[in-house]
Amino acid sequence: MWAGQDYHSLRNLCLKTGELFLDPMFPEDISDPGVEWKRPPEFCSNPKFIESGASTTDICQGDLGDCWLLSSISSLTLHPSLFSRVVPDNQSFSDGYCGIFHFLLWQFGEWIDVVIDDRLPTKNGHLMYTKSNSREELWSALLEKAYAKLCGNYSALQGGTIPEALEDFTGGIAETVSLWRQTPEEVWDMVIQSESRKSLMACYIQVSDPRDIGHVNEDGLVLGHAYSVIGGQEVTHSSGEVALIRLRNPWGFTEYNGDWSDKSMEWKSVSDEEQKALNLQREDGEFWMLLDDVCGLFSWIVICSAELDTPHYNATHLRGRWESGVNAGGGRRLKSFFTNPQFRLRVGVDSEEGVEPGTAEERWAVLVELMQTDRRRDKLHIACNLYRVPKDQVSHPRLDRGFFTRSRPVCDTGDPENSRGVTMRACVAPGDYVIVPSTYDPNQEGNFYIRVYCERQAEDRTD
């Protein structure tokens, strides 16, 4: 429920009064000349919420710079179970239509039911922002509006980040991986494994000069732009099998023009049956690229694991606040670092007996994310560190300055980042650890949320 708005109660009230829902919590926030806020029946003769199922081509970017959001929505359509959670069934413009819709979005450990009315900004009778390739289909435009409400307004969608959107649609943890630091074989394994695990993926080309954002390079790729990663496939070619990655430009047009692009000569040596199975289309925003070219031309891939809240993981959720003069000690380089909040984490240890099971070689995968929860625009630079606690200090309620001066973290999130969330992944032995969230400078205040997932690793044996 978003700020006391209950979808079913509001919808029942509209049905009773015969009035269309008007959301007082999301007024018309665009005052550009020529902009008209209209409901779909006012600019479309036969509006539909979803037409013939949801697909990646239902999302085409409009005049708003939110490719980071739309690439994530495109990825969401590839996983029906995840999609149906975000986009509830039984919504339409026919049966019981009263101008109200709702979507479920994740925020800091909770799924929030975001209610909206269906007034959308239009110009000359056409949607200004996200639209489907079918004029009659409206779910993507309405989901974009729900996300804009969650963020405050449509303008807040200009220049967000891919990890934020992927997490808000799945409740998972998004990790950003440099493609230039991985071998093509490692990237292929990541994509195939992520695809099988229902992980959502996107990638982009980083630019050093902000003025280059949006420019199309000689390969037909848009600089500083987010692309959905749909999956990977090995294709039988005249010279053998090649590994291809399928991507989508959320614009719905402007595609890669290199080897294995839609119109390239390489496809002539691939059978018609295989081309059909690979859904090879012309200028729909989707295209294939050779794995090596993806690794060479793109900078980063973002992978969001969506199946973390399962019996396979031990999950821990923590909340806290940095307060000036109390526990806002600043970064690891400072003497006051030890005053930051300290959270103990026991990994692979019986909580009552304190016995470490298994052998010394046993390892646990630990995935940690620190998020700042009350700073959407004026974000702090944040970081998180994980330390092993010596056995002789396990009973101490807090670790002192001397410990942090002498000790190095087992794992950390790197240099403090000006982002909503930072992550770290480690493979650790059973024992006691301490998680220390921090800001870059001391005495910076803010609320934070930490989630930790631990999974016992299978033993690697050779018979």
Identify any residues that bridge with 107 across adjacent strands, giving them in sequence order: 110
Give yes or no: residues 300 and 336 share one domain.
no
Can you tell me whether residue 47 is helix, strand or coil?
coil
- 1-5, 132-136, 139-143, 258-262: which range is least confident on average? 1-5
Q: DSSP state, 329?
A: -
Active site residue: 14, 79, 203, 249, which one? Answer: 249
Separation between Cα atoms, residue 162 and residue 166, nearest integer Å: 6
Number of structural domains (the chain) is: 3
Give yes or no: residues 326 and 287 share one domain.
no
pTM above threshold 0.75: yes
* Amino acid identity, position 30: I
Q: Are the beta carbons of 302 and 202 closer than 8 angstroms?
A: yes
Give yes or no: residues 13 and 138 share one domain.
yes
Phi/psi of residue 11, each to 5°?
A: -65, -45
Q: Does residue 318 surpass a pLDDT of 70?
A: yes
* Amino acid identity, position 3: A
Phi/psi of residue 417, each to 5°?
A: -120, 145
Give yes or no: residues 65 and 120 share one domain.
yes
**Within a domain: 31:** yes
Q: Does residue 457 surpass a pLDDT of 80?
A: no
339 against 350, higher pLDDT: 339
Q: Does residue 303 surpass a pLDDT of 70?
A: yes
**Within a domain: 197:** yes
Identify any residues that bridge with 248 across adjacent strands, giving them in sequence order: 228, 286
Separation between Cα atoms, residue 463 and residue 459, nearest integer Å: 12
Strand 382-388 to 120-123 pairing: unpaired
**Within a domain: 461:** no
pLDDT of residue 269: 85
Give yes or no: residues 142 and 177 share one domain.
no
Separation between Cα atoms, residue 252 and residue 281, nearest integer Å: 12
Residue 447 catalytic?
Answer: no
Give yes or no: residues 256 and 339 share one domain.
no
- Angle at which helices 139-151 and 67-76 cross, to 10°: 130
Active site residue: 79, 203, 225, 384, which one? Answer: 225
Active site residue: 14, 44, 60, 67, which one? Answer: 67
Find the farthest-apart pair of alpha carbons in the chain and give their distance in angstroms, rounded.
74
Can you tell me whether residue 328 is helix, strand or coil?
coil
Give yes or no: residues 73 and 212 share one domain.
no
Give yes or no: residues 81 and 149 share one domain.
yes
* Amino acid identity, position 301: I
**Within a domain: 93:** yes
- Digit-coded pLDDT (tens) for 230-282: 999 998 887 788 999 999 999 888 889 999 988 888 888 888 888 888 877 66
**Within a domain: 318:** yes
**Within a domain: 226:** yes
Domain boundary among 126, 160, 194: 160
Domain boundary among 305, 324, 354: 305
- Kindly state the tokens that stand for 370: 């620190």
Judging by beta carbons within 10 Å of its beta carbon (0-12, 13-18, 19+), is residue 43 exposed, middle or buried?
middle
Give yes or no: residues 383 and 299 share one domain.
no
Average pLDDT of the chain?
A: 90
Name 188's Cβ contacts closer than 8 Å, sequence gap at least 6.
232, 243, 291
Provide the residue range defining the domain that includes 129.
7-160
* Amino acid identity, position 191: V
Residue 443 catalytic?
Answer: no
Give yes or no: residues 14 and 156 share one domain.
yes
Angstrom distances, CA of residue 462 to CA of 312, 333, 361, 362, 459: 24, 44, 15, 16, 10
Give yes or no: residues 277 and 382 share one domain.
no
**Within a domain: 2:** no
Identify any residues that bridge with 417 across adjacent strands, giving them in sequence order: 382
Radius of gyration, alpha carbons of the chain:
24
Query: Residue with structure tokens 């710079």?
Result: 65
Which CATH number does the domain housing residue 207 bear? Answer: 3.90.70.10
**Within a domain: 462:** no
Task: Identify the CA nearest to 212 among candidates 224, 200, 204.
Answer: 224
pLDDT of residue 448: 98
Give yes or no: residues 300 and 184 share one domain.
yes
Residue 67 catalytic?
Answer: yes
Domain boundary among 100, 131, 160: 160
Which CATH number does the domain housing residue 379 bear? Answer: 2.60.120.380
27 against 318, higher pLDDT: 318
Judging by beta carbons within 10 Å of its beta carbon (0-12, 13-18, 19+), is residue 300 exposed, middle or buried?
middle
Torsion of CA 111, 85, 140, 284, to 10 degrees: 130
pLDDT of residue 272: 84
Residue range 438-459: average pLDDT? 91
Q: Are the beta carbons of 48 and 137 closer than 8 angstroms?
A: yes
Q: Are the beta carbons of 48 and 136 closer than 8 angstroms?
A: yes
pLDDT of residue 377: 77
Q: What share of the chain is helix, strand, coil (3-state, %, to 5)?
A: 25, 30, 45
